[in-house]
Amino acid sequence: MSTVSVNVVTPDGAIYEGDVEMVSARAQSGELGILPGHIPLVAPLAVGAVRLKNDSSVNLVSVSGGFIEVRPDNVTILAEAAETPSHIDVDRAQKAKERAEDRLERAKQEEIDFKRAQLALQRATTRLEVAGK
C-alpha cells in the first residue's frame, strides 16, 4: 500500500517522522482523514490526538493546536505542543485534568476564565487518551 511522509514538529523540534498509510487529525473545522495523494490543504488544528495508521498499528500523538499542511506526498504538522505516549507524564496530566475540572466548577461562582479552563481540560484529557490512561 502507498504511504505519505509525516512530520510532527514543535518549536522544540521534531516529535515524529515517518511514512504512514493514513493520518487522522482534528482540525478546527472538523475531522480530517488524509491518504496518500490528498489534495493540498492548510488548516488550523484543534486540541486532540493525531492518529497515524501504518499496517495494522496506530500511533497516537497528542497535539495542542497548531497547523496541518497537506501535500500529495507529505503531511507536516506544526504544533504548539505535541507528545508521543512515551513522553507523557501521566501523573502530571492527571493532576492537570483535576485542576482544570476544579476551575470549571469554580468558574460558575467566580470570575475564572471559562474558555481557558476548558482548553486546559481538553489538553489534559488528550494527553491521558494518548498515553492510554
Between CA 125 and CA 133 the distance in angstroms is: 9
Verify that 23 and 75 share a domain, yes or no: yes
Verify that 61 and 93 share a domain, yes or no: no
HSE (CB half, 13 Å, CA atoms) of 35?
2
Between CA 93 and CA 129 the distance in angstroms is: 10
Verify that 77 and 26 share a domain, yes or no: yes
Verify that 25 and 56 share a domain, yes or no: yes
pLDDT digits (tens, 9 = 90+) for 47-89: 999 999 998 899 999 998 899 999 999 999 999 999 988 888 8
CATH code of the domain covering residue 51? 2.60.15.10
pTM of the model: 0.79
| 46, amino acid identity | A
Verify that 17 and 70 share a domain, yes or no: yes
Domain containing 112 equals: 89-131
Verify that 104 and 71 share a domain, yes or no: no
pLDDT digits (tens, 9 = 90+) for 7-35: 999 999 999 999 999 999 999 999 999 99
Between CA 118 and CA 133 the distance in angstroms is: 20
Hey, what's the cell of 20? 504512514
- Max Cα–Cα distance, the chain, nearest Å: 55
CA angle 91, 12, 82 (to 5 degrees): 45
